[in-house]
Amino acid sequence: MALHDEALRSPPSFQSPVMKKVAERLAVIHMSNEERNTYFAYLKEAVHSQDVLLAASEKGEKSLEKGRAEGLAEGLEKGREERGREKKDSTWPNDFCKADKQSHLSRR
């Protein structure tokens, strides 16, 4: 078991969160200098790791938002281009009517 876990273990009779904090602080006070230095190094590393994780998460969220915006813009642009090509190449109403008539005639 890690040093900090042993030092901060509070007796099961403590039900109050305040008393648990008091027990933790007393445990730190009663540590030797070496144990205390190790414990504070552990706390510092834990805070640093949490900061790194939070920063990476925020960066990922920003990148995701940027990627979605770029993808949407690109998709809209492609849609406009395709729609423009279809309008130029299509004789849609006439083609549709011919195809519809042919399908009705072939069913008979």
Q: Does this model's pTM top 0.95?
A: no
Residue 45 identity (one-letter amino acid)? E
Residues 15 and 58 in one domain: no
Does residue 67 lie in a domain region? yes
In a domain, 39, yes or no: no
Per-residue pLDDT of 15-63, as tens digits, reads 788 888 888 889 889 999 999 999 999 999 999 999 999 999 888 888 8
Q: Please provide the size of the chain in residues.
A: 108
Residue 57 structural domain = 44-107
**Is 3 in the same domain as 55?**
no
Same-domain check for residues 51 and 18: no
